[in-house]
Amino acid sequence: MTIEGTYRTAIGQDRSHVIHPFSHLATTDITPDDMYVGGAGCYLEDARGNRLFDANAGLWCVNVGYGRDEMVEAIREQAARMSYGQIFARNANLPSAELAARIAAKAPRGMNRVFFGTGGSIANETAIRTAHHYFRLQGRDSKRFVLSVDQSYHGSTYLAASLTFSGNYHETFHVVEVVRSIASPYPYRAPEGLEGDRFLDYLVDDLERTITRLGADNIACFILEPVLGAGGVIIPPEGYHARVVEVCHANDIFVIADEVVTGFGRLGHFMAAEPVFGMQADLITLGKGISSGYQPLSATLVSDRIHEVISASGDPESIYAHGFTHSGHPVCCAAGLANIDIMEREDVCGHVTRVGTRFQARLRDLQGSSLVGEVRGMGFMAAVELVADRTTKAVFPAEVGISGRVETHCRDQGLIVRPLRQHVILSPPLIMTAEEGDWVAGVIERSLDRVESDLRSEGLL
Ligand SMILES: Cc1ncc(COP(=O)(O)O)c(C=O)c1O
């Protein structure tokens, strides 16, 4: 039987039964190109037998690469010893205790408490519920609003999705009432005439005005990705993080650093908000790379100051009524421990810092293409923003499917990239070598050339 024949049944089953996340359900009939059947290191294998370099690391998550024996063995060993162990109330298990301690040891000073979940959305929900719980215990129940910035992505549960101000999120589902957005710290698309420090002032003003309008007594927290990932790898202007933290803290508003993407090495640090951006958060959320995608795992770090209040009283009214069946799941936490072991032993953070500099420099060469408005990124995350006109920064109409065209040409050369609106997103496994990074950039360069010539022959340029 051909390789394709082997997988024909599964492809049929998928078409008949699987609802694919974030898809147009009318047009998601998958083909053998879309069915992945194996993975090793930075590579995936599809149902046609093609080996493809995965420059997305799945969804920003397969940080130590696919198919690592050490990860597999840690998971197997824990599943054999104790396959499940809940941690509600006074139940505990060994892997979750050890993992909490190891994560706390990597966190900024004064952040020693860890709540485990199974995904980034849940980690963010946890951070917000914890902030609400804190203020309620302090008799300040009115502090409920949650602020977030345009172009951010915080997840897909109701509250996390409501905080997500990108794409057509808010047109397709309802929005939870307690969220408000402020201007995006997106320098490339700063309003006309607001360059440099003036843009920074404008952003901080917008935050201050929003606080005045809603009333600080009504706002619990502000959530921010240190680098906005799915929004297009947007790096806020220098000084932004520290200034928004200062404004929030002056108004007794907690700051949540959503490090679901930026954490666990992608920017060369286990947590990047404070060391890279001077962003002193009260709560930090982690997911994705925390287990390199081997098991569903996330963590919400809670500051000692918050923990002191939420743990002060034993009366029934102050119970921390929050938790999930799989919180602190021992097999997931065992994967988390093995992932940290690998990252430490192989100095993955140091590797990202070293190779990331060259990778980013090589990607900047793509700015020579007439289709590229901006290339931006840090460490092992980057975006190529595609435009129809470099002077006006106008984007192509959605029907052109500009980033999808680049994706197709990349794939033809054995490279998986992620098209997101007018962006080509890159978040390779953190074990990618410098030479592989050069190759990735070269493939994208050739793909851009091909797209340009396709557009010309179709009369679209
Ligand atoms: C910054 C950020 N936060 C939260 C999430 C949500 O994580 P999950 O899909 O694991 O719920 C994502 C997912 O892409 C993300 O990019």
One DSSP character per residue, 10-46 reads HHHHHHHH---TTS-GGG----TTT-EEEEEBTEEEE
Task: Give the mean model confidence (pLDDT) for residues 82-104.
Answer: 98
Q: Relative to the CA of 60, which ligand 1 atom is closest?
A: 14
Above 90 in pLDDT, residue 256? yes
Residues 305 and 211 in one domain: yes
Q: What is the CATH number of the domain that holds 292?
A: 3.40.640.10
Do 183 and 203 fall within a single domain?
yes
For range 349-353, the mean pLDDT: 98
DSSP β-bridge partners for residue 219: 145
Alpha carbon distance 135, 253 (integer Å): 10
Asked whether 260 lines ligand 1 (CB < 6 A), one says: yes
Measured distance CA(389)–CA(375) in Å, rounded: 15
For the CA of 296, the nearest atom of ligand 1: 10
**CA nearest to 259, candidates 281, 236, 239:** 281
Determine the structural domain holding residue 111 and report its residue range: 71-343
Question: Among residues 388, 406, 415, which one has the least CA distance to residue 450?
Answer: 406
Q: What is the mean pLDDT of residues 194-202?
A: 93
The pLDDT-based confidence of 66 (bands split at 50, 70, 90) is very high
* Any ligand 1 atom below 6 A from CB of 289: no
Q: Give φ, ψ of 298 to 5 degrees.
A: -150, 165
- Distance, in Å, from the CA atom of 43 to the CA atom of 355, rounded to the nearest integer, reads 18
Q: What is the pLDDT of residue 27?
A: 75
Q: How far apart are CA 55 and CA 61, in angstroms?
A: 11
111-117 and 145-149: which strand pairing? unpaired
Model confidence at 162: pLDDT above 70: yes
Domain end, chosen from 343, 361, 378, is at: 343
Which two tokens mark 394?
């106008």
pLDDT confidence tier of residue 315, bands split at 50, 70 and 90: confident
Would you say residue 167 has pLDDT above 90?
no
User: Among residues 304, 322, 343, which one ends one of the domains?
Assistant: 343
The pairing of strands 219-224 and 145-149 is: parallel
Centre of ligand 1 from the C-alpha of residue 173, in Å: 17
Same domain? For 393 and 445 the reply is yes
25 within domain boundaries: no
Q: State if residue 447 touches ligand 1 by the CB under 6 angstroms criterion.
A: no
Side chain identity at 318, as an amino acid letter? S
Poorest-confidence range of 133-147, 161-175, 366-380?
161-175
Question: Residue 357 half-sphere exposure, CB side, CA atoms within 13 Å?
Answer: 5
Distance between CA atoms of residues 292 and 441, nearest Å? 23
CATH code for the domain of 362 = 3.90.1150.10
CA of 153 to the centre of ligand 1 (A): 7
Question: What total of structural domains would you count in the chain?
Answer: 2
Q: Is the CB of residue 301 less than 8 Å from the CB of residue 270?
A: no
Kindly give the distance from the C-alpha atom of residue 154 to the centroid of ligand 1, in angstroms, as a whole number: 5
Q: What percent of the chain has pLDDT over 70?
A: 97
* Model pLDDT, residue 317: 80
Sign of the dihedral through C-alpha 84, 87, 93, 95: positive
3-class SS at 185? coil
pLDDT of residue 176: 81
155: Cβ below 6 Å to ligand 1? yes
pLDDT greater than 70 at residue 180: yes
- Give me the pLDDT at residue 166, please: 67
Centroid of chain to Cα 247:
25
Q: With respect to residue 254, please indicate whether it lies within any of the assigned structural domains.
A: yes
* 310 and 364 belong to one structural domain: no
Averaged pLDDT, 237-265 = 98
Same-domain pairing of 181 and 109: yes
Q: Distance (Å, rounded) from C-alpha 237 to C-alpha 235?
A: 6
Which residue type is seen at 121? S
Side chain identity at 418, as an amino acid letter?
R
Please report whether residue 429 resides in a domain.
yes
**Co-location of 163 and 258 in the same domain:** yes
**With a 6 A CB cut-off, is 377 part of the ligand 1 pocket?**
no
User: Are 165 and 119 part of one and the same domain?
Assistant: yes
Which of 56, 153, 326 should be mutated for ligand 1, with most atoms under 8 A from CB? Answer: 153
Question: Is residue 299 domain-resident?
Answer: yes
Question: 314 C-alpha vs ligand 1 centroid, how far in Å?
Answer: 33
Instruction: Kindly indicate the confidence band of residue 177, based on its pLDDT and cuts at 50, 70 and 90.
Output: confident
